[in-house]
Amino acid sequence: MRMLLILIALAIIVAVARHLWLQPRRKDPRRRQLSGKMAQCSHCGMYIPEQEALRDGDRCYCSQEHLDAGRGGE
């Protein structure tokens, strides 16, 4: 009887694992937020998402410190 319960539990585990493995992959909604145009920091050259860039005229910066340095504030 004990062996039968173990086999049934094992069959259930395999069935659930197979279902999860063969399930179509869904796109991660966060991935859409990360994609898009990139801007290059005028101070260090690092690329960052355009919507996160700090702007000073036509120049983009990755942080407030680099923005200040670009303005000559340091």
Condensed to tens digits (0 to 9), the pLDDT of residues 21-47 reads 887 777 666 655 556 789 999 999 999
Q: What is the pLDDT of residue 30?
A: 61
CB atoms within 10 A of CB 69: 15
Please report, as a single letter, which amino acid is at residue 29. P
Rounded to two decimals, the pTM is: 0.51
CB atoms within 10 A of CB 65: 13
Whole-number Cα distances in Å, 13 to 23, 25, 48, 73: 15, 20, 44, 63
How confident is the model over 13-21, as a mean pLDDT? Answer: 92
Domain total of the chain:
1
* Helix/strand/coil for 40: strand
Mean pLDDT score of the chain, rounded to an integer?
A: 86
Structural domain boundaries enclosing 53: 2-71
